[in-house]
Amino acid sequence: MRILVIEDDRKVAGFLEKGLREEGYSVDVAFDGDEGETNAYVYDYDALVVDVMLPGKNGYEIVRGLRKEGRSVPILLLTARDSTEDVVRGLDAGADDYLTKPFSLDELLARVRALARRGGSGRLDRLIYNDLELDRIQHLVRHRGELLDLTPKEFQLLEHFMLHPEEIVRRTELLEKVWDLQFDPGSNVVDVHVGNLRRKLRAKGAGGLITTVRGVGFMLHEGESG
């Protein structure tokens, strides 16, 4: 899952980014309303975490604009204001949930999981390919009913492959979607993690599903391992 955090307080933004990443999410951060709104239109996010008081456009304006354009991405508003009027204003703007500062990381993660369960338009909470089943809400993967013990990055890799079955997935795409990094031609981070994922799949009898497309990337399909 990819989440956008729009928060101008860099300490709070760093706290949110770290906590969400440790939970296995891919996270982008914007520090003002204008940049955040642009990112929300350009990229496909599974959820937004948006502070109300922002430089440029505020959180209410961002939510109203996205809803006016028909964007159904789940949105959690953050604010130091807890009056009923402020809560109603945020929900009327189109936010799905509202969290008052200060809050615990556990509470925020629970709210994000709840938003993910609701999902946006066309979101699939369960991905199935061959005998693999991936639960995007509970972060669980099973092969023929047997659980696989994957790290957060391995889970994200497999999730991306299962969202694009039988398509060539380039290394650059994986760096951007799973690691939020620009392409580094000297990095082997993708190959190392794909190798670890393959070994775990092979141990469960699914070792031939991810093949190498030499010089390009990888593909999830029914074939021999490469």
pLDDT in tens, 96-133: 888 888 889 999 998 888 887 665 544 567 889 989 99
Helices and strands (H, E) in the chain, number of each type: 8, 12
Please report, in angstroms and rounded to a whole number, the separation of the first and last CA atoms in the chain: 27
- Identify any residues that bridge with 168 across adjacent strands, giving them in sequence order: 219
- Identify any residues that bridge with 94 across adjacent strands, giving them in sequence order: none
**Between vectors from CA 41 to CA 167 and to CA 164, what angle results, nearest 5°?**
10
4-38 pLDDT tens trace: 999 999 999 999 999 998 888 889 999 999 999 99
* Cα 196 from Cα 201, distance rounded (Å): 9
Helix (H) or strand (E) holding 116: helix 105-118
* Cα 43 from Cα 143, distance rounded (Å): 31
- Using alpha carbons, select from 170, 174, 166, 156 the residue that is nearest to residue 129: 166
* Cα 214 from Cα 72, distance rounded (Å): 38
Q: What is the mean pLDDT of the chain?
A: 86
- Residue 32: both structure tokens together: 């003002």
Specify the pLDDT at position 134.
92
Task: Report CA Rg, the chain.
Answer: 19
**C-alpha torsion sign, points 109, 112, 118, 119:** negative
* Cα 51 from Cα 178, distance rounded (Å): 24
Specify the pLDDT at position 163.
86
Please state, in angstroms and as integers, the Cα–Cα distance from residue 75 to each residue in 51, 66, 148, following that order.
10, 10, 31
Question: Of 61-65, 174-178, 198-202, where does mean pLDDT reach its minimum?
Answer: 174-178
Helix axes 152-163, 189-203, angle to 10 degrees: 90
